[in-house]
Chain A
């Protein structure tokens, strides 16, 4: 058995104490140790953004962070946003603008945007493109995602 380290991580408001291998990726910890499979893994080298989660409120790529680095930190995943009956405004906007097709990259976009729109509630189109530039999508050409972000900003402003 490889050497393990004890970590304490809060994920979506719930505290977890686990023994993990130092090399375990945070993405694998979230998905396979905690069973929170809403976070997806697209490249495992920090480029595609599918695995984006919030760490202490900041969007980070969970595939290039070790679980041990999350010790003592607070993580939020897509499961913390909305439910099918009670969607987060960004999720609602994505559906209304047909901003997802296969849906694999979507959780990463959502978490990037929760962070971004929190700091920039009224972005221009150019700023939106910059904001999502670190998230890859193969289905939508980003056109409807950009529209969804504009709509989400409106929805969040009126909330």
Chain B
């Protein structure tokens, strides 16, 4: 669906201010009398706190207060669940051990706060942290995912019988029957590890309490202003309307910024009230690595039952999922992994089961991709293994099993993170796969290029992988569209932005409906003072859910404008059009009224109004889909491995995706680009490595390898598919996470292909030069 603006690559409206430094990010905000916070964090992953001595810290000039758990009394308790438990799934079990705002008696991960200092400057606050002495009794740390569930393992939460945090089992058909029907059952074990969100701007918060107005203002680059407002109000006994949460410009989100009721917001809201001074806390990079949230490891035991011709008859997957020390985000990540193993190919029978496990590590919550890539990785790896054992090509086995173009709506028989059975609404997976093969020139590479290069001794390889992405899930988002007396339009929404171009894309949607210049539409996101309803920025749902709500609100305003103009211009509504900022009679362009004048007339100051009429050229709309829209695509990759160093050079990547209607194709490409980079990090550079004591040994950019410009593919070709979603009027599906999802799958396949003669087979999603070397040595029997 295309309009004057929708489906056009217009340049971003927010850029001129953003690129000249004329905007405010959180740490740019200075308030009179503002104090600064710093946290004293645990050096141990698992230890009992015997005592904390804060006396010296309190004496330091400039220190206002030093607080440990006991100073907060009953205020300190585990926070609320951020996501409901999976009660919609039959037989699912879970326990909730949610985030402690500050450690009491025991620390459960290295980096967990044990004290907070409030001081006149951040420098002084950090000095004071060094003067806090904690006496710990170290305990054995729970680090290994599988050992954590063995009898006799130390317990992260000693009130529980084991480290098990939950269990989910979902099935379709019969795995036993599939085994009987199959010619071959392939078994593999996979290790998956995942990266940090690592947004360039770390987290932070500023809290101001106005004791006269009894009003709290919070500035925070959160991905959910509504959750932050509601949980703060509930904790402090305030009305939601007494708490205003404002998101300043935010330097990336990628998942971890969705969390609320973390130590900073819980403690700093309380202390800002108590001390009657504004307080700022800005996370540093080390704290971000140690103690924000991230994703982590899974271990999968998978079996694939196939016919001799490669047809899948069934899949059985059993996996463990690391949830870290607490599980406020419940099962979103493992549920995404579970659903995405079986939602791209025809899998008539499946049995998939997982255990969630507590460990002495940082809390696990979604990072771009949110577990989907693990599910995709497992299935793609199983197909590679099956192709290898059946003597088929990776292309052939995928073609054989991809859901056909006429499969939609396709009922997946599996309940996902939105707690409804998954339905693939639309798509054409075989065509996007075919397009990918053409763009990467698969046949030419395999038949001509590769043999030639191999003859020269070059280790070049190719891979192909497919993926789907459940996006745009419920519950709902909302928007208000208001035409001002100046004829310009304001859109407000509770949705939050971290760089996704909503200030442009939402404006494009509105400008098309109201016939105004897109530059005359101002979008305000993530400020509860303007709009107080919504869920948050997650699951690639911005343009799909909040964008659709914006579209519906603009349509309502359009109807209002037409109705009022019809009376004033004395012409039937169907003869009117909205264009150039006016409503005019289509055939008589001189007969018009401007939107600004209409807006004023829609808000009469004297006289009467029709019963039931609502004032203003303004409307609010909400949109909540019955289930998410599913995007999809495929990727091809050509790489070269240096046999001396095992460094992998990415020669060419072709990426085809389908997000239905792209509201702004330029922005869509940008989202794919960023996802690809994160996927490359995931596959070859980034890794949160914990040692046997639960210490994160990659807690700086010196050790945690952030993908740089020289690590990106030398050539990238994007391909586009547009199968509109029937779920919303613009036909949109989400795309924010797509790029990140299939990269580890394609990367390991391509490296395997390059090193074909060694017979190496990878069973993990994160490689590195030394890992490749080790695998090759093992394959050689060395």
- Taking Cβ atoms with an 8 Å cutoff, the residues of A that contact B are 1, 21, 23-24, 31-32, 35-45, 47-48, 50, 77-79, 81-85, 87, 91, 94-96, 98, 100-107, 110, 128-130, 132-146
**Interface flag for B24 (CB, 8 Å):** yes
How near does chain A come to B240, taking the closest CB pair, in angstroms?
A: 28
16 contacts between A and B (CB under 8 A): A31-B28, A32-B30, A78-B21, A87-B16, A91-B19, A98-B666, A101-B252, A101-B500, A102-B250, A102-B252, A102-B499, A104-B251, A105-B251, A110-B19, A140-B674, A142-B677
Give 4 closest A-B pairs by Cβ, nearest first.
A38-B21, A104-B251, A102-B499, A141-B677
Measured CA separation A96–B14 after assembly (Å): 12
Residues of B within 8 A of A38 (CB): 20-22
Measured CA separation A82–B25 after assembly (Å): 19
How near does chain A come to B647, taking the closest CB pair, in angstroms?
A: 15
Measured CA separation A31–B285 after assembly (Å): 18
**Interface flag for B27 (CB, 8 Å):** yes
A-contacting residues, B493-545, CB 8 Å: 498-501
Measured CA separation A30–B387 after assembly (Å): 59
How near does chain A come to B281, taking the closest CB pair, in angstroms?
A: 14
Residues of B within 8 A of A82 (CB): 20
**Interface flag for B15 (CB, 8 Å):** yes
Tell me which of A84, A85, A95, A144 contacts B670 (CB under 8 A): A144
Given contacts A40-B251, A82-B20, contact A138 B198 (CB under 8 A): yes
Tell me which of B21, B670, B674 contacts A138 (CB under 8 A): B674
Measured CA separation A138–B712 after assembly (Å): 12
The answer to whether B701 and A102 have CB atoms under 8 Å apart is: no
The answer to whether B501 and A103 have CB atoms under 8 Å apart is: no
Interface contacts beyond A40-B251, A44-B284, A84-B22: sample of 7 additional A-B pairs, CB < 8 Å, sorted by A: A40-B25, A48-B285, A84-B16, A87-B16, A103-B499, A135-B709, A142-B712
The answer to whether B712 and A141 have CB atoms under 8 Å apart is: yes
Residues of B within 8 A of A133 (CB): 708-710
Which one of A43, A107, A129, A146 has the greatest number of beta carbons of chain B within 10 Å?
A: A43
Residues of B within 8 A of A42 (CB): 200-202, 251, 285
Residues of B within 8 A of A40 (CB): 25, 200-201, 251
Q: Using an 8 Å CB-CB cutoff, how does the interface string of B693-721 with A read, 1 for contact, 0 for none?
A: 00000001110001011101000100000
Measured CA separation A86–B297 after assembly (Å): 49
A-contacting residues, B11-56, CB 8 Å: 11-12, 14-25, 27-28, 30
A-contacting residues, B664-695, CB 8 Å: 666-667, 669-670, 673-678
The range of chain B's interface size is 35 or more
How near does chain A come to B206, taking the closest CB pair, in angstroms?
A: 14
Residues of B within 8 A of A140 (CB): 670, 673-674, 677
The answer to whether A136 and B706 have CB atoms under 8 Å apart is: yes
The answer to whether A37 and B20 have CB atoms under 8 Å apart is: no
Measured CA separation A27–B120 after assembly (Å): 19
The residue of chain B having its C-beta at the shortest distance from the C-beta of A104 within the complex is: B251
Measured CA separation A96–B580 after assembly (Å): 25
Measured CA separation A24–B27 after assembly (Å): 16
Measured CA separation A64–B607 after assembly (Å): 67
Which one of A23, A24, A95, A135 has the greatest number of beta carbons of chain B within 10 Å?
A: A95
Residues of B within 8 A of A77 (CB): 21
The answer to whether B123 and A141 have CB atoms under 8 Å apart is: no
Measured CA separation A32–B148 after assembly (Å): 47
The answer to whether A50 and B670 have CB atoms under 8 Å apart is: no
The answer to whether A102 and B709 have CB atoms under 8 Å apart is: no
Interface of A is mostly: loop
Measured CA separation A106–B702 after assembly (Å): 21
The answer to whether B11 and A45 have CB atoms under 8 Å apart is: no
Measured CA separation A78–B22 after assembly (Å): 10
Residues of B within 8 A of A144 (CB): 670, 673
Measured CA separation A83–B19 after assembly (Å): 9
Measured CA separation A136–B198 after assembly (Å): 10
Residues of B within 8 A of A135 (CB): 709
Residues of A within 8 A of B28 (CB): 31, 37
How near does chain A come to B201, taking the closest CB pair, in angstroms?
A: 5
**Interface flag for B199 (CB, 8 Å):** yes
The answer to whether B17 and A84 have CB atoms under 8 Å apart is: yes
**Interface flag for B254 (CB, 8 Å):** yes
The answer to whether A102 and B200 have CB atoms under 8 Å apart is: yes
The answer to whether B23 and A103 have CB atoms under 8 Å apart is: yes
**Interface flag for B249 (CB, 8 Å):** yes
The answer to whether A103 and B677 have CB atoms under 8 Å apart is: no
Tell me which of B123, B252, B254, B674 contacts A104 (CB under 8 A): B252
Which one of B19, B20, B28 has the greatest number of beta carbons of chain A within 10 Å?
A: B19
The residue of chain B having its C-beta at the shortest distance from the C-beta of A37 within the complex is: B28
The answer to whether A98 and B201 have CB atoms under 8 Å apart is: no
The answer to whether B677 and A98 have CB atoms under 8 Å apart is: no
Residues of A within 8 A of B61 (CB): 1
The answer to whether A106 and B19 have CB atoms under 8 Å apart is: yes
The answer to whether B20 and A78 have CB atoms under 8 Å apart is: yes
Measured CA separation A136–B700 after assembly (Å): 13
Residues of B within 8 A of A142 (CB): 677, 708-709, 712
Tell me which of A44, A95, A130 contacts B19 (CB under 8 A): A95
Residues of A within 8 A of B712 (CB): 129, 141-143
Given contacts A98-B666, A143-B716, contact A79 B708 (CB under 8 A): no
Given contacts A45-B285, A84-B22, contact A139 B709 (CB under 8 A): no
Measured CA separation A128–B714 after assembly (Å): 12
Residues of A within 8 A of B709 (CB): 128-130, 132-133, 135, 142, 145-146
Residues of A within 8 A of B674 (CB): 101, 138-141
The answer to whether A37 and B200 have CB atoms under 8 Å apart is: no
The residue of chain B having its C-beta at the shortest distance from the C-beta of A39 within the complex is: B21
Residues of A within 8 A of B678 (CB): 138
Measured CA separation A78–B284 after assembly (Å): 22
Given contacts A100-B18, A103-B251, contact A43 B701 (CB under 8 A): yes
